[in-house]
Amino acid sequence: MNLQDFEAQYREAMAETLNELQTAVLLLAQVQNKISKIGNSVQNISEKVEEFIGDQKAE
């Protein structure tokens, strides 16, 4: 393998690895967003249940 072949393989491997890293970062951002939405849903459900329980006890 000569220097030009080595350089070409290096650049191709580096470009592919960086693309994979970028994909992973974007997926992580999507997961973080989904976790946040789920957390908000759980909080809303909890508040509604607590309100319902309070209303039932008041009756």
25 φ/ψ angles, rounded to the nearest 5 degrees = -65, -40
At a CB cut-off of 8 Å and minimum separation 6, what does 9 contact? 1
Whether pLDDT at 59 is above 90 = no
Report angle CA 9, 14, 19 to the nearest 5 degrees.
130
3-state secondary structure 3-50: HHHHHHHHHHHHHHHHHHHHHHHHHHHHHHHHHHHHHHHHHHHHHHHH
Q: Is residue 1 pLDDT above 90, yes or no?
A: no
8-55 pLDDT, tens digit per residue, is 999 999 999 999 999 999 999 999 999 999 999 999 999 999 999 999
Rounded to the nearest angstrom, the gap between the alpha carbon of residue 59 and the centroid of all alpha carbons in its chain is: 44
pLDDT of residue 2: 96
